[in-house]
Structure 1
Amino acid sequence: MDDTAEFLTTIGGVLLFGLLTDFLGRHTFLPRVTLLLLFGLLIGHEGLDLISSVVSERFEIITNIALLMVGFLLGGKLTGESLRSCGSQLFWISVSAVAGTWLAVLLGLLTIGVQLEVAILLACVATATAPAATLDVVVETGSKGRFANLLLEIVAIDDVWALILFAFGVSLVALMMGNEEGAATILSAFWQIGGALLLGLAIGVPAAYLSGRIRPGQPMLIEALGLVFLCGGIAIWLDLSYLIASMVMGSVIVNLARHHDYPFHAIENVDSPMMVIFFVFAGASLELNALVGVGLIGVTYVVCRSAGKLLGAWLGAIWGGSGERVRRWMGLALLPQAGVAIGMALVASTRFPEHRQMLLSVVIGTSIFLN
């Protein structure tokens, strides 16, 4: 079987399995995300080894496309109306959950003797929430209403804070390790975040007024995909945070494009199959020896991350004046960890190869338990 045939056959089989997970998800307690991760683990090189290098080598591209779409859709939840109605809750819960998680994981890892540099990096990674997993569960369950909307808004802002914290965390570790480019790394962190904000605005503002004109009020799928790919491509080319750039672009469009009747529905039809492929390939990338090898560090990471999210979200909900339902359940809803955290771990392992095995083993090994 040649490379093209093998690639298409694998993708086709993965997509068809996605239909089965919809059925199983409705009749079991397991969410579709978990089923897809487990299926990926089964067919990956640690299981039946049905995914060849021809397919796995393209995982990074699939990951980027999937997260770009998720960022765009989550940005669409950040409307002026929603920010005005629950701005206090959004700010306090997102900030408190990120700060609480970072502090809990850092202190927990230091307590068991983990090196300070590694503890800082893992604490920064731990603050990220899985936007793809959360969005997929909300769509799968058909959840609507104020809680679901607030959750998606918090996830969007939560990952912005996490990415900002991670950028500066990497810079701090570089300085602590005597990296001569530490100062340049700090400037790079400002560039990645500030540049992403500017790029999202630069593409989002004209797109808000130009899209949805061919079919009045109804942006076409080709328009939505073109904007997402353009934004992502330029962001990666300029070494910016493409997730933040796509979120900003999505938020700008939804707030400025008053002539749109449903500006984000066009891309949702493509987002679903990309999510299926993304989660299966993420599961296939897991290594059983990583799951076994994380040991005490992995357990501490999971426990402290969960405690930090739960306590941080609960305190934030109190400070933001949220109701009892939000106080009780929001922290639990913010527990999933997947694509963004794995992406952060890959970036950190590239910057600090001496810590690569530890970072990837902990983050990838624990991701299957946090969905």
Structure 2
Amino acid sequence: MNILANISDWWNQADQTSMAALQLAIVFSASVIIAKLSGLIKFLPKVTAYLLVGLALSQASLLNSQAVSSMTALREVALSLMLFLVGAEFRLESLAQGLRHSFQMSKWDVGLTFLAVAALTFATALITGMDQALIVAILLGILAIETGPVSTIAVLREHNSHGPFTDYLKLSVANVNIAALVFFAIAAVFVFPTGEHGMRGSLTKSAWWLFGALPLGVLLGLFLAWSETWEKKPALRLLIMLAVVMAAIGLSKALGASQLLAVIVAGFAYANSSTRGMPAIETVRLLETPFYVIFFVYAGASLHIDELPHIGAVGIAYVVARTVTKYMGTYIGAKRSGHPRKRCALLGASMLSHSAIVLALLEVIKERVGPTASLATSLQTLILGSVVVFEVFGPILVKISVLRSGEVSIVNAVPHKSRVVVGNQLFGVLKTFLGHLGFRITPKERTLASLVIQDTRALSAASDFDKLTRFIEHYPYDSFPVVDGKGVYLGFISFNEIKDASYDPVMKELVRAADLLTPSKPIDLDKDTIDTAYELIRNHTSTSLPVIRHDKEGKTLLVGVILQRDLTAAHVRAVTSPDQPNSADSNRLRAASDDEQA
């Protein structure tokens, strides 16, 4: 206990710079661990995992309110960067065909959500005696329309989904958020009168807040697309893009326009005007992951779980009404637009995320009426409490829906874990380091049989698609041996050959393991040597191959598996050994090994 107390005292007495650096180290380290562990939970997207990391760190006092506040500027940059990428997802050439149907679908979502949430929260507020019940109900109805674009698009990108469901979901998210911003600007005219000019001043301010962001975003997006025509270096293109995002933040705030809308429009304008294939987007992907982690972890740390008990009857009414009407509104709209029933249900379940834009609108409300006004405090308690619910479960429902839509490839739907022997890898690192210091460790010569990993399993030829995907999740190699009912080896399935196939739930009833066998040969212990086995695995797409032998009756039996790296290392040692006189073979092998590593 004394040790823990001393650590706690040291932690609390650390200076601000040390504290910020250590907290970021904890954030990134915890995020890596959780990202790895999230693969063990089938329907847990990384978005939700990072939010839970932030929530856990805040509850453990490793990320307190002061730490979260100190990262406000960085979080704002991270949010703007991700919203820019969200805007860039909407390329009209690929989404234009679905615009009309998406408007029909979103019309029901927006109308039903606003009316039902506003009506139910108004009635509940009257019964409970809440102040300004009508204004609170109208604003809650508008805020309920929003669907979190960052978390929703992040889940789609995490699984690299493509198809009608993905396109309509993107369009629906865009439509409802535009509707939320427009409705909010209209409501602000009546709810937030401005100074001596009253409603007229409020109308001008709201109109500029909404429409002033559009030309600003378009100009910045066009400038970024134009800059690509005269700047070729990726590093400088990255700087220009960051300058554009920062300019969108600064100019929109200085001009009193919507920062979120300016950044999204800039991304949209850039994506639809770039003549060079949007190289800036590919460049900024290098920065995306750390900003992505910072935003969601600190967003999780900002979730006010302590507000949940205080949301009261109005908050419960808001959560229930929004859940039901977002689903039903999208379902009805999709059904009337001619979508299949299954897609209607999946689209409805995917519209519940609730975070970035609603929190930004909450800040606007606090700015207009004052952070201590009763209207601001009531809305803040209700919204922050509901965001905890929707941001934890919303992305999970998006992941479930996108997997069931059949628009995700197997490699993105089924987490495949490579076998990593930590001790061996650490030994390799230390051996390399000592080698550079002049200490050489001479390995003993190995035979082909000594390279075989015998701790392996096989699939039954009759295994259905569901069993195959479970096998892929837990089998540590990328070639999956298949045997018949008597244990006789039949062949293997190559992960690299099936990974781009669509993860379609319908396949569960149709496909069997025997249908997916590759014509490639395994390694035969009775015939192959290290040389021939090396040539065999070198010409194959897999990083491992099954190893077989034949019994006295001639039946082919599975022995184990050999990894490409082990076989290559053994072959390189054999031909580069001082006992080998053939230097030409040695040079050829070194070149081949270099080509593989490249």
Stretches of structure 2 that go unaligned for 5 or more consecutive residues are 1-13, 127-132, 392-598
**Residues 45-102 of structure 1: CA deviation (Å, up to 9, x unaligned):** xx22222455222343234222212221122122221332211123223333222221
Give the match for residue 205 of structure 1: 222
Higher alpha-carbon deviation: 131-140 or 57-66: 57-66
Give the match for residue 184 of structure 1: 201
- Work out the CA distance in 1 between the residues paired with 2:24 and 2:242: 20
- Work out the CA distance in 2 between the residues paired with 1:249 and 1:60: 22
- Work out the CA distance in 1 between the residues paired with 2:74 and 2:281: 20
Q: Aligned match of 1:6 in 4, 19, 23?
A: 19
Q: What is the letter of the counterpart of residue 169 of structure 1?
A: A
TM-score normalised per structure 1:
0.90
Q: CA deviation at 1:11?
A: 1.6
Q: What is the letter of the counterpart of residue 45 of structure 2?
A: P
Q: CA deviation at 1:351?
A: 2.6
**Residues 207-240 of structure 1: CA deviation (Å, up to 9, x unaligned):** 2222254328998322322221122221122121
Give the match for residue 135 of structure 2: 117
Q: What is the letter of the counterpart of residue 25 of structure 2?
A: G
Q: What is the letter of the counterpart of residue 370 of structure 1?
A: F
Q: CA deviation at 1:118?
A: 0.7
Q: Aligned match of 1:151 in 169, 183, 190?
A: 169
TM-score normalised per structure 2:
0.58
| SS of 1:222 mapped into structure 2 | helix
Aligned residue runs from structure 1 range 275-286, under 5 A = 275-286=292-303
Give the match for residue 396 of structure 2: none
Q: What is the letter of the counterpart of residue 33 of structure 1?
A: V
- Work out the CA distance in 2 between the residues paired with 1:305 and 1:121: 13
Q: Aligned match of 2:310 in 268, 293, 303?
A: 293
Residues 218 and 99 of structure 1: CA distance in aligned 2, closer, same or farther (over 3 Å): farther
- Work out the CA distance in 2 between the residues paired with 1:249 and 1:156: 14
Give the match for residue 35 of structure 2: 22
- Work out the CA distance in 1 between the residues paired with 2:285 and 2:108: 30
- Work out the CA distance in 1 between the residues paired with 2:163 and 2:343: 12
| SS of 2:390 mapped into structure 1 | coil
| SS of 1:113 mapped into structure 2 | helix
Give the match for residue 48 of structure 2: 34
| SS of 1:181 mapped into structure 2 | helix
- Work out the CA distance in 2 between the residues paired with 1:214 and 1:206: 12
- Work out the CA distance in 2 between the residues paired with 1:187 and 1:320: 37
**Residues 109-163 of structure 1: CA deviation (Å, up to 9, x unaligned):** 0121340011111111111111121122222233233322332233233222211
- Work out the CA distance in 2 between the residues paired with 1:60 and 1:167: 25
Residues 293 and 179 of structure 1: CA distance in aligned 2, closer, same or farther (over 3 Å): farther
Report if aligned partners of 1:132, 1:339 keep a CA contact under 8 Å in 2.
Answer: yes
- Work out the CA distance in 1 between the residues paired with 2:40 and 2:236: 36
Q: CA deviation at 1:198?
A: 0.9
Q: CA deviation at 1:246?
A: 1.5
| SS of 1:301 mapped into structure 2 | helix
1:315 maps to 2:332:
yes
Q: What is the letter of the counterpart of residue 224 of structure 2?
A: A
**Residues 282-310 of structure 1: CA deviation (Å, up to 9, x unaligned):** 22223343111112212111111112211
Give the match for residue 100 of structure 2: 88
| SS of 1:27 mapped into structure 2 | coil
Q: Superposition RMSD on alpha carbons, in Å?
A: 2.5
Q: CA deviation at 1:274?
A: 1.6
1:253 maps to 2:262:
no
Report if aligned partners of 1:218, 1:260 keep a CA contact under 8 Å in 2.
Answer: no
Report if aligned partners of 1:312, 1:331 keep a CA contact under 8 Å in 2.
Answer: yes
Report if aligned partners of 1:105, 1:305 keep a CA contact under 8 Å in 2.
Answer: yes
- Work out the CA distance in 2 between the residues paired with 1:351 and 1:316: 35
| SS of 2:39 mapped into structure 1 | helix
The total of aligned residue pairs comes to: 368
Report if aligned partners of 1:103, 1:308 keep a CA contact under 8 Å in 2.
Answer: no
| SS of 2:354 mapped into structure 1 | coil
Report if aligned partners of 1:90, 1:150 keep a CA contact under 8 Å in 2.
Answer: yes
Ranked by relative contact order (alpha carbons within 8 Å, sequence separation 6 or more), the top structure is 1
Give the match for residue 382 of structure 2: 362
| SS of 1:112 mapped into structure 2 | helix
Residues 150 and 75 of structure 1: CA distance in aligned 2, closer, same or farther (over 3 Å): same
- Work out the CA distance in 1 between the residues paired with 2:199 and 2:387: 30
Give the match for residue 55 of structure 1: 67
Q: CA deviation at 1:107?
A: 1.0
Residues 343 and 93 of structure 1: CA distance in aligned 2, closer, same or farther (over 3 Å): same
Which one has the bigger helix percentage? 1
Higher alpha-carbon deviation: 281-290 or 232-241: 281-290
- Work out the CA distance in 1 between the residues paired with 2:92 and 2:304: 43
Give the match for residue 170 of structure 1: 188
Report if aligned partners of 2:147, 2:354 keep a CA contact under 8 Å in 1.
Answer: yes
Report if aligned partners of 1:346, 1:360 keep a CA contact under 8 Å in 2.
Answer: no
Q: What is the letter of the counterpart of residue 44 of structure 2?
A: L
Q: What is the letter of the counterpart of residue 166 of structure 1?
A: F
